[in-house]
Amino acid sequence: RRAGPARRGPAVLAAAVAALLVGMLAVVLSPSAANAAADAGSYTVSNAASGLCLDLPGSSTATGTQLDLQTCTGASNQTWTLATATTGYTITSASSKLCLGIAGASTSAGKAVEQETCSGATSQEWTLAAGTSTYQIVNVNSSKCVNASENATTAGTLVVQNSCDSTSTKSWNLTAGGTVPTTSASASASASASPSKSASASASASASASASASASPTSSSGGTTIATGDSRTVTEPTIPAVCQTLTATLATSNEQFTSSQEASPPDTSRIQAALTACKGTDEAVELTGSGSDNAFLSAPLTVPTGVYLVINDNATLYATTVASQYQSSSSDVCGTIGSSDSGCNPFIKVSGANSGIEGIRGSSGAQGTIDGRGDLDIYGTTTTWWQLGTTAGNESEKQNNPRLIVFEDANNAVLYDINLVNAAFFHVTYEKGSGFTAWGVRIKTPATARNTDGIDPDAASNVTIEDSYIQDGDDGIAIKGGSGASSDITIVNNHFYGTHGISVGSETNDGVSNVLVEDNTVQGTDSSGNVSTLNNGIRIKSYPSKGGTVSDVTYIDTCLSGIENLVELNPRYDSSSSTSDIPEFTGVLVDGLTSVNSVSGATSTIEGYDSSHITGLTLQYVNLDNTSYTAEYANVAEYDSNLQPSSGTGVTLAKLSAPVATGSVPSCTFPAFPSL
C-alpha cells in the first residue's frame, strides 16, 4: 500500500483510546469539528440509523464479497483497520486482511462496497467527513458515501455507495478497539444472509471465485483433496463502452403484444444488425427504454465475438412465442413433443470469444431483464411452453422448447447483473469453452416449470458463478461432462429457491473435476411457495451409459432449508441397460453443512455403483436435522458430523482424529428472493 503522512485525530479521541486501554471500555468516536479526523487503528463501524454494524458475511476470505449490516458482536469480521494512505485511509478487514473498495472501481450509485485484494487504487481509499456526532465514509474515487442499500435499517441489508446527503443511513459511528458499540438504536438480531463459518478452511488455497491461479486441487495434511475451483483471478465484471444504443418503441406491462407484432417481431433486425456491426469492438449494444416504451420483442439473436448485449434497467427484451422462428435444422419440430428435444434453436446464442450479456443495475437494485415468456401460449395454440413440457413429462417424451441463452465456443464470456425470467426450457448453458463468469444473475421461473435449469456448464473450464439468485423448475446449477470434460469450476455465494439443487451431472462421461462450491444457500420452495418437484440440496448424479469419473468436488459452508434429499450421491440416476460408462465419485468433501426445517422423510443417499466403483466421501462440520440415510459401496470419513453412514453393503466409516481443514458448522439464515 502507498504510505502517507500520519494523521492525528482530535484530542478527545486520544483521551478515549487511553481510557480504552486502561479501562477496557468501548469508546465511540465522535468528531468534534467538521474537519475532524480519526486516528489510524481498529474500529467497529455502526450505522447511525439502525445501530447495526458493518459486517463481512461469514468471515469470507473471497475477494468481491459485499459487506452487509448485522447485529453488533465485536467479532473480527466486524472489526476494521484504518491505515493512512495518500488521500485519507485504507480500510482493511481484521478477519480477511482484504481492503474495502467499490465493485469494478465504479463511480455509479448503488454499486457494492466489497472487500478486494489491496492494490493501492483510489477506489480503495476513503475519507471521513465529520458531522455533529458521526462520520460519513466517502470513497476517494467516486466521491460517494457508504450507505445501507435502499436506506434500509434491517439486519442483512447490503452495503453500497450512494450520493452523499443528510440521510441518516449514510452516517456511521466508529468505536475504537473492535468492541461492541453502545448505541440507542435497536436492531433486529439476525445471522448473516450468507452461511457463516468461524474459521475458514486453512488447509486450502483461497478457494473462491477470486482464488489465485491454480489449475489443480490442493491436499490437506491428512491427504484429503480440497478443490480450488476456477484457476483465474476473477473480479466483478464491468459494463463495457457503448458501440450502439437502441431505444425501445414498444410498451407492455404484462408480456402481451399485438398479433401482428408477435407474428413479425419488430426489433429482431435492428438488434441483430447492431450486434453484427459492433462485432470485434469489445463494446456493447445497449437496449434502453424511453418513457413508457420499455420493451423489445425479438426472434432469435446471435451475439458474435467481441461484442456485448447490454440491457438497461428500464428495459426488457422479450422472446417471440412463434415456434417456427426457433426451428433448427433437426427433423424434430419446435413447439411439439417427440422422442428428442433438438427441434429449437435458442433465443440468444453467444458464439465467439470476449462476448457476453449484461444488465445495468440501477440505484434501486433493478437491472435489465430478458423474458422467455414460457408462461404464455405458443403462438397459434392454446398451450404454453411450460404446459408442453408438463405434457411431455407425463407421456415420457421430450419437449421441443427453446433454451433461453446458449454460450457455445465462447471463451472469456460474461453474464452479469441480468434478470432471466420465464424461460421456456433451460435458462443458460455454457458449452465447450474456457473462461465464463456469471455474476449478479437473477433467474426467476416457477419451481413447477419443467426442465428450466438455471446455469449448466458442460465441457467447460475456468467457470465462476457468483452472487446470483436462482429459482427454477430443475437443477439450479448442473455441471456436466457430457460433450467434453469439465474442470476448475467455482460456485460461490449464491442462493437457490425451489430448484433440484446444486448438481454435478447427470452426464459425466468425459469427467468432472476440481469443483469448489462455497457459501451457498438452498431453499426447497420458490418465492411463490411452490415446493421443488425434486427437492435436493447437495447432489451428484449419473448413470451407467453416461457415467464417468467425478473427482475432487468440495462443498464448503452450505445451508439447506426445507429440503428432502439433503446429500445425494447417486450413480443410478437414470435407468440404463448399458454399462459402457459406469460412474465413479471420488474425493468428495463436504466441509460445513447445516439443514433446517427439512421436509418429512428427509434423508441422504451415499452410494457407489459397485465394489469396483466405490464412492469416496469426507464429511466434517455437518449438522443435519434429519440424519437418516441409505448407503452402499462407499468409503466415508467423518469429523464432527452427525451424518454417519456406517451401515450398508460395501460401506466403511472412518472417524478422523483431526479435521481436513479447520472450521465449524455453519450458522445460517436464508435471504428472500430479491425484487426484480
Looking from the CA of 313 toward its CB, the CA atoms found within 13 Å total 15
Q: Compute the distance between CA of residue 13 and CA of residue 37 in angstroms, rounded to an integer.
A: 9
The closest alpha carbon to 489, from 454, 461, 459, belongs to 461
- Taking the CA atoms of 622, 625, 627 and 633 in sequence, report the sign of the dihedral they define: negative
Tell me how far apart the terminal alpha carbons of the chain are, to the nearest angstrom: 39
Q: Which residues share a beta bridge with 522? A: 496, 560
Q: Report which DSSP code applies to 633.
A: S
Name the strand (E) or helix (H) holding 430: strand 428-439
Q: Compute the distance between CA of residue 239 and CA of residue 368 in angstroms, rounded to an integer.
A: 12
Q: Compute the distance between CA of residue 611 and CA of residue 120 in angstroms, rounded to an integer.
A: 56
The closest alpha carbon to 524, from 575, 424, 595, 466, belongs to 595
Q: Compute the distance between CA of residue 524 and CA of residue 558 in angstroms, rounded to an integer.
A: 14
Buried b (16+ CB within 10 A) or exposed e, 208-246: bbbbeebeebbebeeebbbbbbbbbebbbbebbeebbeb
Q: Compute the distance between CA of residue 595 and CA of residue 318 in angstroms, rounded to an integer.
A: 38
Residues in the chain: 676
**Measuring CA to CA, how many Å separate 154 from each of 98, 192, 271, 527, 559?**
25, 12, 42, 20, 21
Cβ–Cβ contacts within 10 Å for residue 529, how many?
A: 8
Q: Compute the distance between CA of residue 356 and CA of residue 310 in angstroms, rounded to an integer.
A: 8
Give counts: helices (H), strands (E), the chain: 4, 47
From the candidates 313, 427, 467, 500, which is the catalytic residue?
Answer: 500
Q: Compute the distance between CA of residue 593 and CA of residue 656 in angstroms, rounded to an integer.
A: 17
| Helix/strand/coil for 219 | strand
Please give the grid coordinates belonging to residue 94: 481484521
Task: Tell me, rounded to whole angstroms, the distance of Cα 487 from its chain centroid.
Answer: 18
Looking from the CA of 264 toward its CB, the CA atoms found within 13 Å total 3
Which alpha helices (H) appear in 586-628, and where do they start and end?
none
Please give the grid coordinates belonging to residue 196: 457463516
From the candidates 375, 453, 467, 474, which is the catalytic residue?
Answer: 474
Q: Which residues share a beta bridge with 286? A: 245, 310
Q: Compute the distance between CA of residue 386 and CA of residue 402 in angstroms, rounded to an integer.
A: 11
Name the strand (E) or helix (H) holding 385: helix 385-394
The closest alpha carbon to 359, from 414, 319, 408, belongs to 414
Q: Compute the distance between CA of residue 462 and CA of residue 514 in angstroms, rounded to an integer.
A: 10
| Helix/strand/coil for 268 | helix
Pairing of strands 629-632, 536-541: unpaired
Q: Report which DSSP code applies to 67.
A: P
Does 613 participate in catalysis according to the annotation? no
Q: Compute the distance between CA of residue 604 and CA of residue 539 in angstroms, rounded to an integer.
A: 10
Please give the grid coordinates belonging to residue 538: 447437495
The closest alpha carbon to 39, from 71, 83, 101, belongs to 83
The closest alpha carbon to 426, from 387, 461, 457, 395, belongs to 457
* Residues annotated as part of the active site: 474, 500
